[in-house]
Structure 1
Amino acid sequence: MTARTTEWITHWDPEDTDFWERDGKRVARRNLVLSVVSEHIGFSVWSMWSVLVLFMSPAIGLGFSPGEKFLLVVTPTLVGSLLRLPYSYAVTRFGGRNWTVFASAILLVPTSLAAYFVHRPGTPLWVFLLIAATAGVGGGNFASSMTNITSFYPQRHQGWALGLNAGGGNLGVAAVQLLGLLVIATAGDTHPAYVASLYLPLIVLVSLLAALRMDNLEAVRTEPGAQREALRHAHTWWISFLYIGTFGSFIGYGFAFGLVLQTQFGSTPLEAASYTFLGPLLGSVARPSGGKLADRWGGARVTLWSFAGMGAGTAVLLIASEAGSFGLFVAGFTGLFVLSGVGNGSTYKMIPAVFAQQAERSGTGLAGARRLSGAVIGIAGAVGALGGVAINLVFRASYGGPAGGGSGVPAFWAFLAFYAGCVVVTWAVYLRRERAETRTALEASRA
């Protein structure tokens, strides 16, 4: 049985198979479901501006340039990235349930502000930038949610659990874009406030459910300085670099896709919204598969092939851009979303696996590895999300700057070079070492 003290579960040992089957699995699943729902709403609010900018036109008194719209998309991405570290720490300080209630309820602020101001003609850009910045709180939810859930599950199931938790959250990007499509198709492209308003009751509902049904887990607490210790580990930075390539791509493309279609192909809001949801939807669904494949084949191997595939997808975008092929362009982008989703799951699986292996070699025990993994999850999540900021800034420079000439080709060449670097790092730091250790172990067994 789980032991509770003042609303905290104090005994939690998911590596004990009997405990897990008897009591742990049921509690972990309940918390996972509510964590997914909360994170899903958080992602929707975080990425809401990728939809709202599609409505902004002179027809509603909000005629901003493409560069200004990309700036509106960049702002919540940046703020959400910066909030991930404090959010990751906060869940270890205040508890999974307590922090989820707060992190869900505070989403009412950016959503209410967006619903009020987005239908007011003549509102200056700086006001929208401030409102978009408050939407960054939705991006912080990911780090606290992942830090919390990793403590509930045994190491053998963490790839699947973290992939499902993150994938369900990532679906929030597709959900808000589908909602935008629904609003445009039924009410027209002059009613952006409907998109934000429909989330207000959902935020209230998920906050209440988290308060009533989630748990605070003593195991999620870390000793002071856990994040500082994690910062000293080289693996923290290698994995964060790889996560820039996977999650940074997913969230950066998710925020920018509609604007890219409008800018490069002159798509109407309805045409852009008709395609923007598909990539994030498939990428989110692919994320748990990436975690599960990593459970079986190893996170580094799956991550390597994901980056190789993303490089191929970027080459498709270059070909489509030169040919002016809308269909090939959308297909290439959709493939990038799917592969980034797989890479998201496999890269996050690497975190507990790498630190568990280090604990085994050093004899420090899995408890320390778990606490360190939780801190690294927050750091990697924050650094990885900054990749989304970089992608949108590169797009802004490419489409709005003289070097790009209104084309995304310079941006795609930059992304292709980065994915090549990620392939090299994955091979050199993880796969080559893994093969060397396997070879050494085989030689030792034959001796």
Structure 2
Amino acid sequence: MSTAAERPPAIAVQAEPRRRGREWLAVWDPEDERSWDSRLAWRTLGITTYNLTLAFITWFLVSAIAPRLNNIGFGLSVSELYWLAAMPGLAGGMLRLVWMFLPPILGTRKLVSLSTLLLIIPLAGWGWAVQDSSTSYPVLLALAFLCGIGGGVFSGFMPSTSYFFPRRKQGVALGIQAGIGNFGVSVVQFLVPWVVGFALLGTASIAPETVVKPAKGLGDSIWLHNAGIVFIPWVIAGAALAWFFLKSVPVQASMSQQLDIFRNKHTWIMTALYVMTFGAFSGFAAQFGLLIKNLYGGFPGAPDPLAFAFLGPLVGSAARVAWGPLCDKFGGAVWTVVAGVGMTVSTIFTALWLSPASVGEFKWFVAGMLGIFFFAGVGNASTFKQMPMIFERRQAGGVIGWTAAIAAFGPFLFGVGLASISPVVFFGGWTVFFTLCVWLAWHFYARKGAERPS
């Protein structure tokens, strides 16, 4: 196994003759200051980040809709709601296994623009489905699965962006893209409770849904269909921006060539570390509202789940953006260890408030959850700094896509776990996993004499 110092420097890549044209760059080497086009790189980052935010909004749309479905007459059980919120995670993980291979094949322009247009399908689908409370549960599950498109595109967008930046700037660039993209979780969970309160311009002809099960903050009617419809114009705009303003880097790799990442043990170690960070972030983000409702919803004066659900993703996303520059300065490995320790301690603390005796314990539960989200955000930034340092450029793109694909199963694993076992046991199991990941990060990457310091 070669060390980081022994790996060859990045070299310029050239497009094959069949790919020459307006879209494909002929030569591209971001490690060469003389030829690197920083304006193109940052423009690419801006457009793909905007579209990634829309993708995350779509991916977590169900987490914002599910707590309100029974209020308009759907009558779903606790287990069915957990499964519904889990389905986008299952789809996101599966679809990332597809999207991870697409950047060298489609190129950034086609990949981002066409992927963004696909988001219209689940957004419009949910806008239609919630108008009739007799919509069957299998249909709701299918629409929840389609929301996973928003999770799947991450494994195409992030590697595409990494091609445009030199290694020394990838911590900042990928931290910005993933961090702001993650804000989509907070956007949908914060915005949906507001937009369902009135008729939108252009959709006023659609009758509101009748509230049959009153809840705090709800009147007699809500426009729950707005939750999906409101984002469709922004999706169309994002696809147009990508189509007209993006270029494609001529990084060439066939499907079989991309599979060589699986012969490297560090692919598997970094997969575990990213499951610790993003797997937990996405899993808790998808289930946070339902956890609040199921643990504290039975008390008098119970908190509104949607008034707090957006806070966790907001904190985690902000941490991911803020720690990108720190990871570039100090390296990613040390921050991955810090993140793992912080997540372990926060999870243990939160577990103390999973069997509440009164609503007064809610503030401690929220504080523990926000701690988990904060340190998960730090770890999301640090692991994405590590991967371009551990692997050569083409492999790094593939590893980013693969680890992101596996971690995207977080919402599914969390949903199935919470539907199957008690929250106390569930949190205990993740505490053990976090502890193991701390050792992996320290032993292989952070300690003095580590195999791949990063």
**What TM-score does the superposition give when structure 1 sets the normalisation length?**
0.88
Partner of 1:314: 347
Partner of 2:417: 394
What value does the CA root-mean-square deviation take over the aligned residues? Answer: 2.1
| Whole-Å separation in 2 of the counterparts to 1:196 and 1:436 | 47
Instruction: State the alpha-carbon separation in 2 of the partners of residues 250 and 185 from structure 1.
Output: 28
| Identical residues among aligned pairs (%) | 32
Which residue, 71, 75, 78 being the options, matches 2:83?
71
Q: How far 1:181 moved relative to its partner?
A: 2.5
The residue that corresponds to 1:341 in the other structure is: 377
Of the three residues 34, 48, 51, the one matched with 1:18 is 34
Letter in 2 for 1:376: V
2:427 aligns to what?
412
1:281-301 deviation digits (Å, cap 9, x = unpaired)? 121111123332221222111
In structure 2, C-alpha distance between the alignment counterparts of 1:387 and 1:151, rounded to whole Å: 26
SS at match of 1:104: helix
Give yes or no for contact 1:76–1:132 (8 Å, CA) kept in 2.
Answer: yes
Q: Which runs of 5+ in 2 are unaligned?
A: 1-12, 200-217
* Offset at residue 428 of structure 1 (A): 2.1
Of residues 171, 179, 183, the one that matches 1:171 is 183
Give the direction of change, closer, same or farther, for the CA distance of 1:434–1:195 in structure 2 (3 Å limit). Answer: farther
Residue 331 of structure 1 is matched in structure 2 by 367
Counterpart for residue 201 of structure 1: 233
Question: Which amino acid in structure 1 is aligned with residue 263 of structure 2?
Answer: R
Give matches, 1:208-357, under 5 Å: 208-219=240-251, 221-266=252-297, 271-322=304-355, 324=357, 325-355=361-391
Partner of 2:157: 145
1:425 alignment partner, SS class? helix
Structure 1 residues 339-378: aligned runs within 5 Å? 339-355=375-391, 369-378=392-401
> Which amino acid is 2:227 matched to?
V
The one-letter code of the counterpart of 2:130 is V
2 CA distance for matches of 1:174 and 1:145?
20
Question: 1:111 maps to what in 2?
Answer: 123
More divergent stretch after superposition (124-133 vs 182-191): 182-191
> Secondary structure of 2:74's match?
coil
Count the aligned residue pairs: 411
Cα-to-partner distance string for 1:2-35 (whole Å, 9 max, x where unaligned): 9993120121111112333xxx110000000000
Question: Does the aligned pair in 1 maintain the 2:287–2:411 contact within 8 Å?
Answer: no
In structure 1, which of residues 38, 51, 54 is the aligned counterpart of residue 67 of structure 2? 54
CA deviation digits over 1:77-108, x for unaligned, max 9?
11111111211211210110111111000111
CA distance in 1, matches of 2:46, 2:96: 21
Match of 1:39 in 2: 52
Specify the alignment match of 1:359 in structure 2: none
Deviates further, 287-296 or 77-86? 287-296
Aligned residues of 1:44 and 1:172 also touching (Cα < 8 A): yes
Contact 1:55 1:191 in 2 (8 A): no
C-alpha distance in structure 1 between counterparts of 2:113 and 2:56, whole Å: 15
Q: Match of 1:145, SS?
A: helix
Farther off after superposition, 282-291 or 370-379: 282-291
Q: Tell me what 2:204 maps to.
A: none
2:297 is aligned with what amino acid? G
In structure 2, give the amino acid aligned to 1:287. R
AA partner of residue 326 (structure 1): F
1: CA distance between counterparts of 2:382 and 2:89? 22
Contact 1:167–1:287 (CA under 8 A) maintained in structure 2: yes
Report the TM-score, using the length of structure 2 for normalisation: 0.86
**Counterpart amino acid of residue 413 in structure 1:** G
Unmatched tracts of structure 1, length 5 or more: 356-368, 399-403, 439-447
Q: Does 1:162 align with 2:198?
A: no
**Deviation (angstroms), 1:54:** 1.2
Any idea what SS the aligned residue of 1:321 has? coil
Change beyond 3 A, Cα 1:428–1:3:
closer
Contact 2:444/2:452 (<8 A) preserved: no
> Residues 200, 209 of structure 1: CA spacing in aligned structure 2 closer, same or farther, 3 A cutoff?
same
Q: Distance in 1 between matches of 2:197 and 2:125?
A: 24
Distance in 2 (alpha carbons) for counterparts of 1:9 and 1:198: 36
Preserved CA contact (<8 Å) 2:55 2:151 = yes
